[in-house]
């Protein structure tokens, strides 16, 4: 038997991950970078639904970079040139998201035991 304090200390390990990726546009950004490779800001924005603003995209990219899912590569010479790409962790997130899409579409249904 566990005390009520034990159950309060227990938590789902995925909770923080799910909260982070439930923010609007996060999964779209990962999906686009996974399918199209490194992209400049403008090209990435064109891959996303037109409702996302430049300000929100910039904030989401900064959050993804800080969390270690996206890398920002400054390739500037005389002209500002920045590309964004997924890290190994970002690619793993894409695989996990693709798996959840398959599950949600019924592709991974199992027979009841």
Tell me the three state secondary structure of residue 58.
helix
**Fold of the domain spanning 15-104:** Arc Repressor Mutant, subunit A (1.10.10)
Q: What is the pLDDT of residue 45?
A: 95
Q: What is the pLDDT of residue 76?
A: 77
Find out whether 61 and 72 touch, Cβ atoms under 8 Å.
yes
DSSP 38: S
Average pLDDT on 43-53 reads: 94
Record the pTM.
0.79
Q: What is the pLDDT of residue 66?
A: 97
* φ, ψ for residue 11, nearest 5 deg: -155, 160
Q: Detail the DSSP E strand segments found in 1-113.
A: 39-40, 70-74, 82-86
Closest to 61 in 3D by CA, of 53, 49, 71:
71
């Amino acid at each position: 038997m566990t005390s009520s304090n034990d159950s309060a200390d227990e938590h789902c390990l995925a909770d923080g991950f799910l909260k982070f990726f439930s923010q609007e546009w996060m999964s779209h950004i990962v999906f686009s970078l996974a399918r199209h490779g490194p992209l400049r800001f403008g090209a990435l924005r064109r891959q996303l639904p037109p409702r996302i603003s430049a300000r929100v995209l910039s904030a989401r990219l900064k959050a993804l970079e800080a969390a270690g899912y996206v890398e920002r590569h400054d390739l500037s010479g005389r002209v500002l040139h920045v590309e964004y790409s997924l890290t190994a962790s970002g690619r793993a997130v894409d695989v996990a998201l693709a798996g959840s899409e398959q599950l949600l579409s019924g592709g991974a249904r199992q027979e009841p035991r």
